[in-house]
Amino acid sequence: MLFAAGTSEVALAFVEIGALVLALAVLSRVAGRFGITAVPLYLIAGLAMGEGGVIQLDVSRNFFEITAEIGVLLLLFALGLAVAASRRNIFFLLMGVELMLNAVNLSFVGFSRTFAGHGSLVGHLSPLFIIAIAAAEACVGLAMVICIVRNRDSLDSDAYAEMKE
């Protein structure tokens, strides 16, 4: 197993994150029923369940650290996906793919730092291979872009939709 030493911690952390996401989704639906935004309900829930609140949450030691890492990684991955999906410029498309690969690299390093054991070594070595593959992908991709742009004189990806020899 990848995280042999901390398998129960990993499972507990993912269960806690799932419960938190489910609770936020329910609050969002309740706010939608009343025709208000969900932000005040999120704030009230944070005050009620936070430290010193009415409901004390029994969360694991690494819960907030893992949640913050996952949030940053999802934000970076979503940003790369949005850039790759919405831009028509080929260079922005390649930059979006690189952002997504970097989010995956950070997830490997973040989880290997959080959960010690055999998975820690794998989590630190995997990004090295991903970086090497991403560098090769960037070289080949940019070379292809240069060759194509010489023929079409455009960086618009829609101009290459009907490539014929």
How far is the CA of 2 from the CAs of 6, 25, 112, in angstroms? 9, 31, 10
Segments in 5-59 forming alpha helices (H): 7-34, 39-49
**Strand runs (DSSP E) across 16-109, as ranges?**
none
Q: What is the C-alpha to C-alpha distance for residues 39 and 32, in angstroms, rounded to an integer?
A: 11
Do 76 and 135 have their domain in common? yes
Q: Which domain holds residue 9?
A: 1-60
Do 53 and 72 have their domain in common? no
Do 55 and 81 have their domain in common? no
- The pLDDT averaged over each successive group of 10 residues in the chain (165 residues) is 51 69 78 79 68 61 70 86 84 86 85 71 81 86 82 71 60
| Residue closest to 91 by CA, chosen among 146, 44, 53 | 146
Q: Which amino acid does the sequence have at 25?
A: A
pTM, 2 dp: 0.57
Do 7 and 71 have their domain in common? no
Do 20 and 79 have their domain in common? no
What phi, psi does 75 have (nearest 5°)? -65, -45
Predicted local confidence at residue 57, as pLDDT = 60
User: CATH number for the domain including 150?
Assistant: 1.10.287.3510
Predicted local confidence at residue 3, as pLDDT = 42
Tokens of 31: 């706010």
